[in-house]
Amino acid sequence: MTHDFENFREQREKGNAAVLATDSLTTKRIFSMDKQAYADGALDKGTKELLGLVASMALRCNDCIDYHLQQAVDRGYTKQQIDEAMSIALLVGGSIVIPHMRHAANSLEFLFAEAEK
């Protein structure tokens, strides 16, 4: 299975720009609230990204999984730390999360290989 992370990044950026071009104040506020929620606070941004990863896996959103994996790797989390967070997602979400763990494993392989370059 090939994993095209560059395409994901490009499509996410393009899609976000299209969504934010809306005149909907509600949409813009939700995007702003999301950004604010993941900022450093009582919990640091990295911890929040791992929480987002777990929620994204339990909710079975591969785009969200990729985004939070990228953030976690960028913040210096190790594969072991990320794997441990993903095991919590499997516990919470049950066996239906397994296909999304496979997706995440492919994404992590790409991200860590990219980081080594």
pLDDT digits (tens, 9 = 90+) for 53-108: 999 999 999 999 999 999 999 999 999 999 999 999 999 999 999 999 999 999 99
pTM of the model as a whole? 0.88
User: What domains lie within the chain, and their CATH numbers?
Assistant: 5-116 (1.20.1290.10)
Cβ distance 62 to 97 under 8 Å? no
Q: Binning pLDDT at 50, 70 and 90, where does residue 3 land?
A: low
Cβ distance 57 to 86 under 8 Å? yes
Residue 87 has which token pair? 């095991």
Rounded-to-integer distance, Cα 26 and Cα 105, Å: 35
H or E element that contains 33: helix 25-37
**pLDDT computed for residue 4 by the predictor:** 84
